[in-house]
Amino acid sequence: MSAVPADATPNGAADGIAAAAPASGEPTLLGIIGGTGPAGAALAARLADIGCEVTLGSRSKYRSMEVVDNILDRWPERDLRIHPGANSLAAQKPTVVIATPWDAAAITARDVAEHLRGKVVATMSNALARVDDEFVPLIPPRGSVAASVQATLPESRVAAALQHVPATELGNLDEPVHGDILICSDHREATWHIAEIVDRMPGARALDCGNLSNATAIEAFTAVLMQLNTRYRTRVALRLVGLDHVPISVLGGGPGSADAAPPVAETVPD
Ligand SMILES: NC(=O)c1ccc[n+]([C@@H]2O[C@H](COP(=O)([O-])OP(=O)(O)OC[C@H]3O[C@@H](n4cnc5c(N)ncnc54)[C@H](OP(=O)(O)O)[C@@H]3O)[C@@H](O)[C@H]2O)c1
């Protein structure tokens, strides 16, 4: 599956989107805002392992340097291209992921908005709270973290992705990712772009889940998964059934998805 619509220019620009896909043979360049936490650091390691070049952003360049050193020390035999930097440097990369806590995502995006104009911006944050021994979803402004960020960045193409994959599994490069990665966006080329990157991760299957309004359900469902982890003392991964016969290129939509399978039926569970 290619990430870029068929009428894209060679550097990946199409329909006003800033260049996101590199020329063939070049590494995909990504920046992670809030990359020093477990989620961002694990994602940086996994992305670098599939050949991306990653800038791991932080509010503190020194914290970023320390986290990058830790990743490289853990995987000395792998050729991981991960660079430390401020969040503003990460935001200058062609594709950007926001991995801050949920209540910092939109504010942090606003701080670097000038760099994010026209780009695909993925959010992986979940609005959750722990109440006694239960995880409960919170409803952020506009219904989801991703929608809050999209409202803050009207000139960017925001996609919600990677909410459900635990950092421990994401960052263990000796094992495949094992799971479905649900992606939604109001900009289908943003979904395709993130899906193309996700599909390069061993074991991961990117699924196009429609418009950004579905980020409300995707983010909130993380509370269910975390509750299962607590209840059964494990770390669950999401794997949906009923899709195994569909080629991956159709799942992600992809360019000119005229060849994508038409919807079979519009059923709403009772
Ligand atoms: N952990 C997981 O397994 C996992 C998996 C999937 C999705 N997620 C989601 O990904 C998000 C990040 O998870 P995490 O566990 O990595 O979170 P975290 O460690 O709490 O935060 C990540 C980074 O965000 C930055 N940050 C913290 N507070 C901030 C603020 N007020 N303003 C700006 N930046 C701030 C910090 O970096 P600096 O101090 O260096 O700037 C921190 O290292 C969460 O919303 C979580 O739900 C987590």
What is the average pLDDT across 86-109? 98
pLDDT above 90 for 66: yes
What is the average pLDDT across 35-60? 98
What is the average pLDDT across 157-167? 97
What is the average pLDDT across 198-206? 94
Q: Which string of DSSP letters, residue by residue, matches 20-67? A: -SPSTTSPPEEEEETTTSHHHHHHHHHHHHTT-EEEEEESSHHHHHHH
Residue 69 lies in a domain: yes
pLDDT above 60 for 208: yes
pLDDT above 60 for 41: yes
Residue 241 lies in a domain: no
What domain range includes position 176? 29-236
Q: How many domains does the chain have?
A: 1
254 pLDDT band (50/70/90 cuts)? Answer: low
**Ligand 1, from 100, 103, 149: best to mutate by most atoms within 8 Å of Cβ?**
100
Task: Check residue 257 and give its pLDDT.
Answer: 52
What number does the ligand 1 atom closest to the CA of 222 have?
Answer: 47
Q: Tell me the CA end-to-end span of the chain in Å, nearest whole number.
A: 34
Residues with CB under 6 A from ligand 1: 34, 36-40, 58-60, 63, 99-102, 104, 108, 124-126, 162-163, 165-167
Q: Are 46 and 165 in contact (CB under 8 A)?
A: no
Q: Are 237 and 179 in contact (CB under 8 A)?
A: yes
Mean pLDDT of the chain: 87
**74: number of Cβ within 10 Å:** 14
pLDDT above 90 for 232: yes
Residue 104 lies in a domain: yes
Residue 36 CA, ligand 1 centroid: distance in Å: 7
Residue 4 lies in a domain: no
Residue 172 lies in a domain: yes
CATH number at residue 228: 3.40.50.720
Task: Tell me what percent of the residues of the chain surpass a pLDDT of 70.
Answer: 82
252 pLDDT band (50/70/90 cuts)? Answer: low
244 pLDDT band (50/70/90 cuts)? Answer: confident
Task: Check residue 12 and give its pLDDT.
Answer: 35
Q: Which residues of 143-152 are buried (b: 16+ CB within 10 A; e: fewer)?
A: bbbbbbbbeb
Q: What is the DSSP letter of 261?
A: P
Residue 179 lies in a domain: yes
Residue 164 lies in a domain: yes
Residue 159 lies in a domain: yes
Task: Check residue 250 and give its pLDDT.
Answer: 56
Q: Residue 198 and residue 181: Cα distance in Å, rounded?
A: 8
Q: Residue 13 and residue 7: Cα distance in Å, rounded?
A: 9
Ligand 1 atom 42 nearest Cα: 37
pLDDT above 60 for 109: yes
Q: Residue 42 and residue 29: Cα distance in Å, rounded?
A: 16
What is the average pLDDT across 134-149? 96
What is the average pLDDT across 178-192? 96
Tokens of 92: 């200058």
Task: Check residue 25 and give its pLDDT.
Answer: 76
